A = this chain, B = another copy of it.
Amino acid sequence: MAKSRASIRDVARESGVSLTTVSLILNKNDQRISDPTRQRVLQAMERLAYTPSRLARGLPNRRANTLAVLVPALQNAFADVYFGEIISGIYEAAATRGYRILLEVARREYVRRKEYITLLDDCSVDGIFFIGATAEHRWLKDLDGSDRPVMIVNNHFKQWALNWVACDYPQAGRLAADRLVDLGHRRIGHICGPSDLVETSRELTEAFVGRLAERGVRLGSSMIVEGKFLVDIGKLACDELLARDPGLTAIFASNDKMAIGAYQSLRAHGRQPGVDVAVIGCDDIPNAALTEPPLSTIRLNFFEVGATSCRALLDMIEGKIDADSKPYHERTPVSMVTRGSCCEAASIVSA
């Protein structure tokens, strides 16, 4: 038994054909080989337990058949539902098209050395996803307008021309506004995300306020409080809103965690969420269905965002989309999930 694995040459020798023939058979697209020959070669492969080397395969056309996912260097980035779902979606789409996923963390050193550029330049990877990117990540400007196959997942930036795929946050804002107005709410509070860093968060708020206005409900800026997507912050924000308008009948939070924080605040103020005050969240995290009352929310399909952005990036890489033209933009659909927490305004006895 030979120490080293069989190569394409061994297969060629074993089946008495040229190595070109074997290669052609390997890349099934080419139909120039007769069936008998093909069979002979396939059998030889079988006998020799031949597996083509990815490394060698990538060399001639500089393709690694691998994509990288770059996540920010947060405490437990890998242990977060949000990132987890996006990565799962990317993985799924990549796997079905024969690509692998490389994991990279944007540590300080990593960014300083511009490793995300090296990654592409040294042929380790055919494209990169950036997840959890915010306007704070100034170094993204390195990629501004470049034709490198790079995709921002679930955010975008006015200042840099980059490809992105994100949930349809404007639509999410409109859905929440419509629902609250339909239920008769007029005195509404909104807990928004950090609009200066996260463009999608700004969109959401803008669309929400805009649609309310269209339907005749004016939401003053005093009834919009900003928070950084955490439960505790949601609680504080809601405290603030209640202080500003004790008579509010509904709250829309930009993510579920803050909505859950709002629950806590409401209870602390003797209000029952879903009875005294309607609450709508956004994201539909697994926990949303388990709260008491179950949280009505806008479902953002993060898995889908991951999968969609992956398909788009692969299309660019494989030349199915003209990458040289404009940056690629796409929004994935969102939907309203009605659970117990959004009651009618009419039923509320005003304070």
Task: Say yes or no: A55 contacts B123, CB within 8 Å.
Answer: yes
Q: How far is the CA of A80 from the CA of B58 in the complex (A)?
A: 33
Minimal Cβ-Cβ distance residue in B for A120 = B51
Minimal Cβ-Cβ distance residue in B for A59 = B55
A58 smallest CB distance to B (angstroms): 5
A110-164 interface with B by 8 A CB criterion: 118, 121-124
Cross-interface CB contact of A55 among B58, B88, B118, cutoff 8 Å:
B58
Q: Is A169 an interface residue (CB 8 A)?
A: no
Q: How many copies of the polypeptide does the oligomer hold?
A: 2
Cross-interface CB contact of A83 among B79, B101, B102, cutoff 8 Å:
B79
Task: Say yes or no: B85 contacts A103, CB within 8 Å.
Answer: no
Task: Say yes or no: A122 contacts B51, CB within 8 Å.
Answer: yes
Q: Which residues of B contact A312 (CB under 8 A)?
A: none
Q: How far is the CA of A5 from the CA of B62 in the complex (A)?
A: 11
Known: A79-B84, A79-B85. A102 touches B66 (CB 8 A): yes
Task: Say yes or no: B87 contacts A103, CB within 8 Å.
Answer: yes
Task: Say yes or no: B100 contacts A124, CB within 8 Å.
Answer: yes
Q: Is A328 an interface residue (CB 8 A)?
A: no
Q: Is A268 an interface residue (CB 8 A)?
A: no
Q: Is A91 an interface residue (CB 8 A)?
A: yes
Interface size on A, residues (CB 8 A): 40
Q: How far is the CA of A101 from the CA of B320 in the complex (A)?
A: 28
Q: How far is the CA of A66 from the CA of B65 in the complex (A)?
A: 14
Q: Is A17 an interface residue (CB 8 A)?
A: no
Give the interface centre of A52, A80, A100, A107 by most chain B CB atoms within 10 Å. Answer: A100
Q: Is A238 an interface residue (CB 8 A)?
A: no
Q: Which residues of B contact A55 (CB under 8 A)?
A: 55, 58-59, 62, 64, 122-124
A239 smallest CB distance to B (angstroms): 20
Cross-interface CB contact of A105 among B76, B82, B91, cutoff 8 Å:
B91
A72-103 interface with B by 8 A CB criterion: 76-85, 87-88, 91, 95, 100-103
A215 smallest CB distance to B (angstroms): 37
Cross-interface CB contact of A81 among B59, B79, B95, cutoff 8 Å:
B79
Known: A79-B79, A80-B79. A53 touches B123 (CB 8 A): yes
Q: How far is the CA of A278 from the CA of B39 in the complex (A)?
A: 70
Q: Is A28 an interface residue (CB 8 A)?
A: no
Minimal Cβ-Cβ distance residue in B for A90 = B103
Q: How far is the CA of A41 from the CA of B127 in the complex (A)?
A: 30
Q: Which residues of B contact A54 (CB under 8 A)?
A: 64, 122-124
Contacts A76-B81, A77-B84 known; list 5 others, CB within 8 Å: A55-B64, A59-B59, A78-B85, A79-B81, A79-B82
A-B interface, 8 closest residue pairs, ranked by CB to CB distance from nearest: A79-B84, A78-B84, A79-B81, A51-B121, A55-B123, A54-B122, A101-B103, A54-B124
A contact residues vs B (CB 8 Å cutoff): 5, 51-56, 58-59, 62, 64, 66, 69, 76-85, 87-88, 91, 95, 100-105, 107, 118, 121-124, 286
For this complex, 6 residue pairs linking A to B, each with C-beta atoms less than 8 Å apart, are: A52-B122, A54-B124, A55-B124, A59-B59, A77-B84, A87-B103
